[in-house]
Amino acid sequence: MRIFKFGGASVKDASGVKNVFDVLQKVGYEDVLLIVSAMGKTTNALEVVIKNYFDKSPDLNASIQEVKKYHYQILLDLFEDEDHEVFLDVDSHFADFEYFVRSNKSPNYNFVYDQIVSYGEIISTTILSHYMNFRGISSQWLDVRNYIKTDNTYRDANVDWDITQKNISKISKKKSLFVTQGFVGSDENGFTTTLGREGSDYTGAIFAYCLNAESVTIWKDVPGVMNADPRYFENATLLNQISYREAIELAFYGASVIHPKTLQPLQRKEIPLYVKSFVNPLLPGTSVSKGEDLEPKLPCFIVKKNQLLLSLSSIDFSFIMEENISEIFALLHQHKLKVSLIQNSAISFSVCVEDKFGTFKELVKILSKKFKVSYNENVSLYTVRHFDEKAMKTVEKSKTVLLRQMSRETLQVVTKE
């Protein structure tokens, strides 16, 4: 079986859905499991619904109707007959969504987030599966929550591999097209969980691992894995082949093409990963596979915007020792702050972090009781793998450098624009 993953940009409108059909016609769809994200910016729109819900905003209903209007317009553009059963199925999903919003009693933001935001994937895959059948490609819709089981760490759930393996192994071996949701799972009580933003790639890896898949293909609006994000760097170059090791390094440092957790399950079973263009599906794209000789021969640039540079120093000029660092990392973990860079000296300690869950200010209050705390907001972290002098000048040009760190292969620079 081959695993195909299509992201939100590929199904942002009716033309995108039609293009997925065209891609499958060109590359084949027998014995394929299709993993699909929410359409376009639906996840962002559902986050607005969640905000309005917790703020008890009068705009709550309007924000829900905006999500419905967007999807129904896509339905009307795809299906000639409004009596088609897809309308009933989508109506049913929205009814469940609105019922949850009316009846929920939990004050847990992360729990509510997962229950609401997952409807983006549920509805997008319902539309796509029906459209495939409508156009003559027989497809079977799967509710991923019946297959991927996790703990109850809402918004960043951990997979229970044993139960998940048993569930996924029950998928029929018949050579048909399956359509399911990325990013989503469920806990032991049946409540919806999510695997973290951009977790649809990870979903592909989970299914591939459990099914011993032939390959995983991530379909993007770029030709493949580039050595730099074309939005921020000129003359970005396609990397035709890279090793699992290099891809994991790039993902760890924040390369947006591949999700950091995606590669480990694939590497364990040596399942190749392809990153290809849904605009030009017959182009080879990038292949990620085993082999030390697949290292890029040119610098690879990664940039993470909207970071925070947190600097701590001892109040009494005493050394910051192992026990202090251990305590700091325990607090970072507790507040779910992702650390992208670390630098320390005898009496100071700096980390570049991403405040995904909005807990940074709370952490600063706690740390201020024991340390002198300073921080810079909205900084950018540039990482360059296989850097050279020219690459260093490129990332530092016309910027204020707040911190620089180098190893043999990797340069990291925190800058203020």
Annotated binding residues for ATP, written as ranges, equal 231
8-state DSSP, 376: E
Known binding positions: 231
What is the number of other CB atoms lying within 10 angstroms of the CB of residue 409? 12
Nearest CA to 172 among 31, 70, 322?
Answer: 31
Residues facing residue 311 across a β-bridge: 350, 374
Cβ-defined contacts of 341-348 (< 8 Å, 24+): 341/381, 341/403, 341/405, 341/412, 341/414, 343/403, 343/405, 344/320, 346/319, 346/320, 347/313, 347/314, 347/317, 347/318, 347/319, 347/320, 348/311, 348/312, 348/313, 348/314, 348/320
115: its two tokens: 């229950």
Angle at 22 between CA 39 and CA 34, to 5 degrees: 55
For residue 390, the Cα-to-chain-centroid distance in whole angstroms is 31
Give yes or no for a contact between 354 and 252, defined as CB atoms under 8 angstroms apart. Answer: no
Helix (H, G, I), strand (E, B) or coil at 4: strand
8-state DSSP, 96: H
Report the C-alpha gap between 37 and 93 in whole angstroms.
Answer: 16
Could you please report the per-residue DSSP string of 293-330?
GG--SS-EEEEEEEEEEEEEEETTS----HHHHHHHHH
